[in-house]
Amino acid sequence: MLSAIRNTIRATTNSVVRSIYTTTPQATEKFDHKRIPADDEGVQGEKIIDLDSVLKLKQNLFPTLESDNYLFDGVPYKDLPICNIRVTHNNTIFTVTDSAGSVKLTRSCGMEGFKNTKKGTNIAAQTTAISIATKAIDKGYKTVRVRVRGLGPGRLSAVKGLQMGGLDIVSVTDNTRVSWNPPRPRKAKRL
């Protein structure tokens, strides 16, 4: 009796059809892992780049003595207006100044209508950046330099908001102050 039950169970399990889906292989040739590559073959999938030509292309990436006289939209770099971004954990403040440093426009997340902890968010910084960018374009500033000072959530989104607002950003400078003699840390918590 027991053997008859086992035979019926085996018969039913063997008749169950399972569908297995497979994809076609993507590689046209098989890669032999045991083969030792030649010395000049390099890494599989890696492309060879001539470093000298890449460095020559990026040569103008860093400023030189002649950088102040480069023209951007017909204006020398040293005479471009500067957009200062002061980023804190609680707020983000934007000021557009001329090359001499006199303030022409000021906006902050609080002035834009954000209240309390929402002033310190990256969305508030981006919205304020778009607002000040449109005001700067109305005043006639199209190409600007950007200086970012401080650490906070709105650093990257502030610069992105200026671009979204229509300003052409020539350079981004991090002007965050670094304390080489920081304040004394708190005493260790006793358990």
Using one digit for the tens of pLDDT, what is the confidence trace for 159-190?
A: 999 999 999 999 999 999 998 998 999 999 99
Report the amino acid identity of residue 79. Answer: D
What's this model's pTM, rounded to 2 decimal places? 0.66
pLDDT at residue 191, rounded to an integer: 84
**How would you write 172-184 as a 3-class SS string?**
EEECCCCCCCCCC
- Alpha-carbon span 69 to 82, nearest angstrom: 16
pLDDT at residue 54, rounded to an integer: 73
Answer whether 181's CB lies under 8 Å from 150's CB: no
Q: What's the chain's length in residues? A: 191
The ranges assigned to domains in the chain are 68-174
The answer, yes or no, to whether residue 45 has pLDDT greater than 60, is no
Instruction: Give which of 134, 136, 142 is closest to 170, Cα–Cα.
Output: 142
Q: Which CATH number fits domain 68-174: 3.30.1490.190, 3.30.420.80, 3.20.10.10, 3.40.50.720?
A: 3.30.420.80
Which residues are paired to 105 by β-bridges?
96
